[in-house]
Amino acid sequence: MGARGIPPPPRAVRRVLAPLWPLVGLVVTGLMVPVVVAGALHSLVDRRARLFRCACLAVLLMWVDIRMLVRCWVLGAEPHDDRAPEWREAHERLLSDALDSLMFYTRRWLGLEVRLTDRMHFGTAGRPLLALARHAGPFDSLAVAWLLARTAGRLPRIVLAEALRWDPGVDTILTRLDSFFVPSAGEDRLAGVRGMAGTLGDDDVLLIFPEGQNWTPSRRAHLIERLRRRGEHRRAARAEALVNVLPPKTRGAWAAREARPGADVMVVAHAGYGQLSSPRLIWDAMPFRDRPFLVRTWTWRSEDVPSDPVAFAAWLDARWDEVDAWVTAHTDPGGIPERRPATGSAAALPDALPDASPDASPDDPSGSSGGTAGGTVAP
């Protein structure tokens, strides 16, 4: 059962869980001490020290989360106006610091390296941005959100599974930042998407994963089989033609597009971790020193994106064909991405990434100029 199938905690449980979270952290840390010691001893046998790395990282990330929650409490205890820009900016800085810490520790302990294969472009100045990203592998939501925050200089607003409310730190800060937690059932799952998109500021980014769930070989196979059983042979053939992605679900992306038609649209592809579709595969791949998280983007001006729902669905399908082709080209049969930057254009991202170049390529009508100017806005 994925995160979408986990019900959120009742409101009373959320209220009790939050103040107990630091105590939970102390208990978990105490319980993890023998695991850390066992991992250190096991590293004499396992030269990759996987148990030791995972145990240490789990403790560190939990305390990053607790620190974020405590700082939220401090902000809430100070005189404030929930609608003031300063209130939101303070929480954005808090979340940005937490993302930086998460990525720093994940890189140090597991070797997670985010690498752009081309420059990113964030659309037209003074317009919000709708980012539609592939969903596959561990860490992808974190890595994409961090990358957008680091390169765009602003945090994306995110659509998340409501099960994440079990984490009081995530629940508190993202609720204050008006992120949308998708209900597991029974409510209009698009209402929050429309609400977030409709209130995007000129410098805001809304991050959506149109596939709705992580791609795995088994999910792809089950989807094709289910469509065939229903007699939806055309959709089954469409799903079968896509090798490394699931067919995008249009409703969420269209709800955001309809609510904010002036927003430019970015499509985000990534390769390197999609084939790690089970805990065993993730364990076998650790640490990820030779497996960069490769990212490629394409950005389209709002006027170049269809404003009709049927045409938009066809447009999104075509974009996902391109994403699938790119991912396939950057993944070998064993699931390992290319290890060297193509034509010298890719660059590893440091812990503090400078802004990506916003220069557009005026000569490329496709929205992608190849070489070193990928992700440019189509003229």
Cα angle 164-169-173, degrees, rounded to a multiple of 5: 95
Helix, strand, coil percentages for the chain (3-state, nearest 5): 50, 10, 40
Task: Give the span between the Cα atoms of 105 and 99, in whole angstroms.
Answer: 10
The answer to whether position 9 is within a domain reads no
DSSP-derived letter for residue 110 is H
The answer to whether position 335 is within a domain reads yes
The answer to whether position 52 is within a domain reads no
How many other CB atoms sit within 10 Å of the CB of residue 74? Answer: 10
Task: Give the span between the Cα atoms of 137 and 142, in whole angstroms.
Answer: 11
Residue 349 has pLDDT above 80, yes or no: no
The answer to whether position 64 is within a domain reads no
What does the pLDDT average to over 217-244?
91
The answer to whether position 106 is within a domain reads no
The answer to whether position 107 is within a domain reads no
What does the pLDDT average to over 199-216?
88
- CA nearest 374: which of 341, 339, 333? 341
- CA nearest 266: which of 122, 114, 117, 119? 122
Task: Give the span between the Cα atoms of 265 and 330, in whole angstroms.
Answer: 23
Q: How many domains does the chain divide into?
A: 1
Residue 356 has pLDDT above 60, yes or no: no
Residue 187 has pLDDT above 60, yes or no: no
Q: What local confidence, expressed as pLDDT, does residue 185 receive?
A: 58
- Whole-structure pTM over 0.85, yes or no? no
Domain residue limits at 278: 114-154+203-379
Q: What percent of the chain has pLDDT over 70?
A: 84
pLDDT digits (tens, 9 = 90+) for 19-39: 999 999 999 999 999 999 999
**Strand 293-300 versus strand 264-271 pairing type:** antiparallel
Instruction: Give the confidence band of 191 by pLDDT, cuts at 50, 70, 90.
Output: confident
Greatest mean pLDDT among 8-12, 97-101, 348-352, 356-360 lies in: 97-101
Residue 373 has pLDDT above 80, yes or no: no
The answer to whether position 282 is within a domain reads yes
First to last CA, the chain: 44
Dump the DSSP string for 161-214: EGGGGGSHHHHHHHHHTT-EEE-SSSS-TTHHHHHHHHT--TT-EEEE-TT-S-
Residue 215 has pLDDT above 50, yes or no: yes
Instruction: Give the confidence band of 193 by pLDDT, cuts at 50, 70, 90.
Output: confident
Question: Are 168 and 242 in contact, with CB atoms under 8 Å apart?
Answer: no
Residue 194 has pLDDT above 90, yes or no: no
The answer to whether position 56 is within a domain reads no
Residue 363 structure tokens: 């000569």
**Strand 129-133 versus strand 180-182 pairing type:** unpaired
Task: Give the span between the Cα atoms of 338 and 293, in whole angstroms.
Answer: 10
